[in-house]
Amino acid sequence: MTAKRQPKKKTRDKLLDVAEKMFAEHGFDAVSVRDITDGASVRLASVNYHFETKYKLFLAVVARRATVLNQDRKSALDKISFADLTPEDGVRAIAHAFIDPMYQRSTQGDEGWKSYCRLIAQQAALRHSPNITAEFFNPFALELIAQLKKILPGLEDRQAHYAFQYMIGATIYLFTENERLDSLSRGKYSAHDLDTLCDDLVKFVTGGVMGLISS
Amino acid sequence: MTAKRQPKKKTRDKLLDVAEKMFAEHGFDAVSVRDITDGASVRLASVNYHFETKYKLFLAVVARRATVLNQDRKSALDKISFADLTPEDGVRAIAHAFIDPMYQRSTQGDEGWKSYCRLIAQQAALRHSPNITAEFFNPFALELIAQLKKILPGLEDRQAHYAFQYMIGATIYLFTENERLDSLSRGKYSAHDLDTLCDDLVKFVTGGVMGLISS
DNA sequence: GTCTATAGCTTGATAGAC
DNA sequence: GTCTATCAAGCTATAGAC
């Protein structure tokens, strides 16, 4: 066996790539299996052969990059030496650990990463059904909440959980990159300027968490 | 003419009510016209008779309560006497003007309002297509941004626009009332506790906006 | 693992009687 | 304004040859 075989990766991965992009752009229900197979220039039956059902293809798309993103976040969180930081700077470091991996992958990873970030952002805002984000991302979330409580003893358990919800909301809304900011500012600013948006988002989240304990 | 005629409101309004609920719960694409007409106990053809197309029914649902919500927010914003407030309390008042109307209607209005809030929350997080929230809600948004800049001269125009995005994101995520908080806390806290969630959200948003200027 | 062909069902929308 | 009946198109999924 000389490393991996090349040929057997083609169709399956093309399906994952195209599905990722289309689901992110239009949502699960608005995309048909035909849309995906046509976009990938493969036959209709290949989806059922490789993934059994359309929904399991969707799950495979979500799972594919979830591990990587979680590792990014986990290692960013583990790198923080809280002993050297003020509480506020600790919160800032936590905000970075949550936001930066998504930002880095979205802007500097391959094009699929941008779609993926859009996809999980949209998924997180859904009420149910294919809302599988929890299983993939809860473990890291719990660590983050625990660290928040540790460096901010004045923060109640309930507020630490709430803080994380506000953080999710503010963050994922950015990564949908919808056109609201563009239309509001008549093109002066753009939802695609993730660099400055994420910079200020860290400030916003940090100030927000600190604002929870001051009163 | 003795006031309004009663009988002619029935089918059309039943359709609006059921569509509102179903669209909010499952999204536009996951709900069929048949689902709606069955739920409303009316005939399939009535949707096309009253609204022409499924999509125009959706638009009618969104439009129905948009005016009321906007008036709530506008009058809340106009009531603030900024001269008497510190900058931070001014920001807090603005956050209240944005959040409270949705909160009040969602928790104290008729049941349709809860669905409506869920619906526009989900819509706001979509990338495009039926993302018509902008036309309905941009006018108020621009007023809010203008007031932010007025009471915080240190806040750049760009940051005022960004602040509003963070505010939207954090807020609408709450109003989807998805089960993430429930699963994270193993049922200890719930996404349906909008009262405490919105209380702390105002603190978070206020602190977040102040955090943008301090650095 | 790929491809054709198709089954079986659901979709949005309409025509036309009442 | 309501109702029945139906159309044409789209859908997911599968059977079976290669």
What 8-state DSSP symbol labels residue B84?
G
Q: How far is CA A42 from CA A14, A15, A45, A60, B12, in A?
A: 9, 8, 9, 18, 45
Residue B194: which residues within 8 A CB-CB, separation 6 or more? B103, B106, B107, B174, B175, B177
Picking from B119, B144, B165, B213 by the largest number of A CB atoms within 10 A of its own CB, the best residue to mutate is B165
Q: What is the pLDDT of residue B132?
A: 79
Q: How far is CA B99 from CA A167, B84, B139, in A?
A: 16, 21, 16
User: Which residues does chain B have within 8 Å of residue A115's beta carbon, measured at their own beta carbons?
Assistant: none
Q: If you average pLDDT over residues B155-181, what whole number do you get?
A: 97
pLDDT at A24 over 80: yes
Q: What is the pLDDT of residue B13?
A: 98
Contact A171, A179 (CB under 8 A): no
- Token readout for A9 is 């990766």
Q: If you average pLDDT over residues A109-128, what whole number do you get?
A: 94
Residue B28 lies in a domain: no
Query: pLDDT tens digits, residue range B34-67?
Result: 999 999 999 999 999 999 999 999 999 999 999 9
| Domain at A116, CATH number | 1.10.357.10
Residue B32 lies in a domain: no
Q: Which of B129, B159, B197 sits opposite A162 (nearest CB)?
A: B197
Size of interface A-B (CB pairs under 8 A): 216
Q: What is the pLDDT of residue B141?
A: 98
Contact A178, B131 (CB under 8 A): yes
Q: How far is CA B45 from CA A157, B58, B155, B201, in A?
A: 53, 16, 54, 44
Q: Do A125 and B189 touch (CB under 8 A)?
A: no
pLDDT at A213 over 90: yes
- Give A118 CA → C9 C1' in Å: 32
Domain that holds residue A149: 64-214
Q: What is the pLDDT of residue A1?
A: 41
Q: What is the pLDDT of residue B135?
A: 87
Q: What is the pLDDT of residue A11?
A: 97
pLDDT at A165 over 70: yes
User: Which residues does chain B have within 8 Å of residue A133's beta carbon, measured at their own beta carbons?
Assistant: 180
Q: Which of A134, A177, A184 sits opposite B180 (nearest CB)?
A: A134
Binned at pLDDT 50, 70 and 90, residue B3 comes out as very low
Q: Which of B131, B163, B201 sits opposite A166 (nearest CB)?
A: B201
Q: Do B169 and A164 touch (CB under 8 A)?
A: no
pLDDT at B157 over 60: yes
Q: Quick one: what percent of chain B has pLDDT higher than 90?
A: 90
Burial of residue B133 (CB within 10 Å: 0-12, 13-18, 19+) is buried
pLDDT at B214 over 80: no
Residue A52 lies in a domain: no
In chain D, which nucleotides are within 7 Å of a protein Cβ? 1-6, 10-16
Amino acid in position B25: E
Q: Do B125 and A164 touch (CB under 8 A)?
A: no
Q: If you average pLDDT over residues A193-202, what whole number do you get?
A: 98
Q: Which of B29, B162, B197 sits opposite A27 (nearest CB)?
A: B29
Q: How far is CA A203 from CA A78, A93, A200, B163, B172, in A?
A: 21, 11, 5, 10, 20
Binned at pLDDT 50, 70 and 90, residue A134 comes out as confident
Residue B22 lies in a domain: no
pLDDT at A5 over 60: no
Q: Which of A37-51, A131-145, B66-80, B176-190 has the lowest mean pLDDT?
A: A131-145
**Nearest nt (C1') from B31 Cα:** C11
> Which 3-state string (H, E, C) describes A77-123?
HHHCCHHHCCHHHHHHHHHHHHHHHHHHHHHHCCHHHHHHHHHHHHH
Query: pLDDT tens digits, residue range B87-129?
Result: 999 999 999 999 999 999 999 999 999 999 999 999 999 988 6
- Distance linking the first and last C-alpha atoms of chain B: 64
Q: Determine the Cα angle at A167 with ends A99 and A77, to 5°.
A: 45
Q: What is the spatial distance between Cα B8 and Cα B45, in angstroms, rounded to a whole number?
A: 17
Q: How far is CA B105 from CA B66, B69, B90, in A?
A: 12, 8, 23
Residue B124 lies in a domain: yes
Q: If you average pLDDT over residues A195-215, what whole number do you get?
A: 95
In chain C, which nucleotides are within 7 Å of a protein Cβ? 1-6, 10-16
Q: What is the pLDDT of residue A3?
A: 45
pLDDT at A2 over 60: no
CB atoms inside a 10 Å sphere around CB B180: 22
Q: What is the spatial distance between Cα A103 and Cα A108, in angstroms, rounded to a whole number?
A: 8
In 3D space, the residue among A66, A69, A96 whose CA is nearest the CA of residue A80 turns out to be A96
- Distance linking the first and last C-alpha atoms of chain A: 64
Q: B120 φ, ψ to 5°?
A: -70, -25
- Give A25 CA → D18 C1' in Å: 37
Kindly write down the DSSP assignment for every residue of B133-201, as one continuous string.
HHHHHHHHHHHHHHHHHHH-TTS-HHHHHHHHHHHHHHHHHHHTT-THHHHHTTTSS-TT-HHHHHHHH
A32 CB closer than 7 A to any strand D atom: yes
The domain total for chain B is 1
Q: What is the spatial distance between Cα A61 and Cα A50, in angstroms, rounded to a whole number?
A: 13
Q: What is the spatial distance between Cα B94 and Cα B147, in angstroms, rounded to a whole number?
A: 8
Q: Do B122 and A126 touch (CB under 8 A)?
A: yes
User: Which residues does chain A have within 8 Å of residue B26's beta carbon, measured at their own beta carbons?
Assistant: 127, 129
